[in-house]
Amino acid sequence: MKKLLSLLLCAVLVGGCVLTGCNSQESSGSSKSENAAVADPIENITATASDDKYRNYYEIFVHSFCDSNGDDVGDLQGIISQLDYLNDGDPNTGDDLGIDGIWLTPIMPSKSYHKYDVENYYDIDPDFGTLEDFDELIAECDKRGIKVIIDLVLNHISSNNPLYTKAVEEVSEGKLDGNAEYFEIHKSSYFDSGTPTNSLADGYECEANFSHEMPEWNLNSEKTREEFKKIAKFWLDRGVGGFRLDACKYYTNKSTDGTEFLKWFYDTCKEIKPDVYMVGENWTDDSDIQELFKSGIDSQFAFKFAQSSGLFVENIVTQNGVAIVKKVMNYDKKMKESNENAINALFLSNHDQVRIANTLEGQGLGYEKLAAALYMLFPGNPFIYYGEEIGIKAPNTTNDAAYRTAMIFDTADMPSIFVNGIGDEFDEPTGGGVKQQLEDKDSLLNYYRRIIKIKNQNPEIARGTITGMQGFDDNNVGAYYIEYEGSKLLVIHNFNAKESKTLEITDDMIKNAVVRADLVAESSDKHVELKDGKLTLPSQSTVILKSAE
């Protein structure tokens, strides 16, 4: 009787509160239907907070996330005001998104809104706040078990940075053994035809692949490396967990071996902070990514799976579960051949790409939910682009700035943040803002919350290795095994958008299998059923099976 009463109580409990407006707190939550045919398998499983490098990361484009002071620019205090939305410090409450890692896009002083041209590597841009605000953010994140990594731009610098302006001045005076050594400054004959450069005095030029405002560091210079060591120590000593390294693709040039440089920088940071985490941006092909993994770097973003033309979208739309599982498994295997400790970094979109809600617009909410379950339930560290969890769309698909519009916490109180280059356009998420979606138990936001809770209940998902696929003679069904420290899971996705699947589960697959967790796009009241070896898997749903304990 006590057990029955407990189940009934669990069915009607309502979640707590999270921050929804930039400066307000709202109570909200969701409950399971008392008439559900199958019990929710995750109700009585304890979740555990991460204490290692495996995290669910959330990318925040700082300019656009939350404005705390009314100047129409997002800032660090705005992020602090939303931390309880991201993580309330208790993995078992279910009242937060569950994020335990944050990636901040560049926060250092710069005249651009995106801040990828750094004028001072040792401060916070005044638009975003102060170093004291940053210290407060780190302290508040530490309370919640959130690791913060910051964007670090080591390939290029702002043309307004004093180190570079001094170099330009010295070159005009014929001095080449001073600040010029920090940068890729050479006679024009040094550069290949077509290499973008800035013209300096006396026939000298400085490489500038991105723009004239972003001249490039000489990564082979001892002066540069000493400066980078000082920069890394400054931020690691302030409490950051590591770095997202911009433009790793360009670390290799005529005078620099990119893998050697990256190994030097990673090893240097480990001397300062042994558990530093580092993820690189490298959007080239697999062979280049494999080569850079030899440096020992923890992660590199898996661009081939993301974007509107990426493999995730392709196989979700064609409903081919077998193909995408095989491709992720093979990709993981290749990367671990270069670095056995490589942590895959999967994502759907980021600040340089069309948002996933634009890409899947017209397909239906189930496609967005399946996409979320797919990339987040593979081993590694997923990176959620802010607003992705509520289905924010870009107002157009032709402008980087359009992918960086304001986070929407409440559609009744729309933010006034607008990004350079797109005017005052806004596109409301179909399900509303955070406040509205928290009140809808079947929203995309509540689906993301459930995924992360499941991951915190099953640490094997992030940390394990894909050891094989399980075939069911059905291309709609993508299934794979994850093994970690003697524990084995079978993850099964039904990619079919309309039809449920009935699958036979044998002891050869998972002995005495039970449903450990499930995700059903159609309704949170529906659950996967496993009875007498027959698994009923609704359309666009996911199940995790484990041997009965």
d(CA 66, CA 85): 12
Q: Residues 6 or more apart from 318 whose CB is under 8 A from it? A: none
**Residue recorded with tokens 């290949």:** 192
Q: Is it the case that residue 11 has pLDDT exceeding 50?
A: no
d(CA 298, CA 340): 10
pLDDT at 255: 87
- Give how far the C-alpha of residue 465 lies from the chain's centroid of Cα atoms, to the nearest Å: 20
For residue 231, is it within any domain?
no
Categorize the per-residue pLDDT at 226 as very low, low, confident or very high, splitting at 50, 70 and 90. Answer: very high
Higher pLDDT, 107 or 36: 107
pLDDT at 22: 66
Categorize the per-residue pLDDT at 446 as very low, low, confident or very high, splitting at 50, 70 and 90. Answer: very high
Query: What is the full DSSP assignment across 264-321?
Result: HHHHHHHHH-TT-EEEE---S-HHHHHHHHTTT-SEEB-GGGSSTTSHHHHHHHTT-H
Q: What is the mean pLDDT of residues 344-372?
A: 96
Q: Is the pTM of this model over 0.85?
A: yes
pLDDT at 422: 72
Categorize the per-residue pLDDT at 545 as very low, low, confident or very high, splitting at 50, 70 and 90. Answer: very high
For residue 227, is it within any domain?
no
Q: Is it the case that residue 397 has pLDDT exceeding 70?
A: yes
* Closest to 539 measured CA to CA, from 530, 549, 548, 526: 526
Query: What is the full DSSP assignment across 421-490?
Result: TSTT-----TT-SHHHHHT-TTSHHHHHHHHHHHHHH-THHHH-EEEEE---S-TTEEEEEEEETTEEEE
Assess whether 293 and 339 both reside in one domain.
yes
Assess whether 193 and 142 both reside in one domain.
no
pLDDT at 331: 98
pLDDT at 26: 36
Is residue 281 flagged as an active site residue?
A: yes
Assess whether 290 and 267 both reside in one domain.
yes
User: Given 395, 426, 461, which residue is the final one in a domain?
Assistant: 461
CATH number at residue 542: 2.60.40.1180
Compute the Cα dihedral for 166, 170, 176, 177 and give only its sign.
negative
Q: Is it the case that residue 5 has pLDDT exceeding 80?
A: no
Out of 95, 281, 389, 518, pick the active-site residue: 281
Out of 67, 151, 246, 388, pick the active-site residue: 246
For residue 91, is it within any domain?
yes
Q: Is it the case that residue 527 has pLDDT exceeding 80?
A: yes
Query: What are the pLDDT digits (tens) for 48-75?
Result: 999 999 999 999 999 999 999 999 999 9
pLDDT at 424: 63
Q: Is it the case that residue 428 has pLDDT exceeding 60?
A: yes
Q: What is the mean pLDDT of residues 262-275?
A: 98
pLDDT at 425: 72
d(CA 324, CA 333): 14
Assess whether 482 and 452 both reside in one domain.
no
Is residue 246 flagged as an active site residue?
A: yes
Query: What are the pLDDT digits (tens) for 178-209?
Result: 999 999 999 999 999 999 999 999 999 999 99
Assess whether 262 and 404 both reside in one domain.
yes
Q: Is it the case that residue 7 has pLDDT exceeding 50?
A: no
For residue 528, is it within any domain?
yes
pLDDT at 204: 97
User: How many C-beta atoms surround the C-beta of residue 193 within 10 A?
Assistant: 4
Q: Is it the case that residue 346 has pLDDT exceeding 70?
A: yes
Assess whether 65 and 170 both reside in one domain.
no
pLDDT at 15: 37
Q: How many domains would you assign to the chain? A: 3
Contact assessment for residue 109 and residue 98, using Cβ atoms and an 8 Å cutoff: no
Categorize the per-residue pLDDT at 393 as very low, low, confident or very high, splitting at 50, 70 and 90. Answer: very high
Structural domain boundaries, residue 194: 162-207
Q: Is it the case that residue 44 has pLDDT exceeding 60?
A: yes
Q: What is the mean pLDDT of residues 164-173?
A: 97
Q: Is it the case that residue 409 has pLDDT exceeding 70?
A: yes
Q: What is the mean pLDDT of residues 258-284?
A: 97
User: Given 428, 461, 494, which residue is the final one in a domain?
Assistant: 461
Assess whether 451 and 469 both reside in one domain.
no
Collapsed DSSP state (helix, strand, coil) of residue 359? helix
pLDDT at 36: 45
Where are the alpha helices (H) located in 51-114, listed in sequence order? Answer: 62-65, 76-81, 83-86
Query: What are the pLDDT digits (tens) for 469-505?
Result: 999 999 999 999 999 999 999 999 999 999 999 999 9
Assess whether 344 and 308 both reside in one domain.
yes
For residue 228, is it within any domain?
no
pLDDT at 19: 47
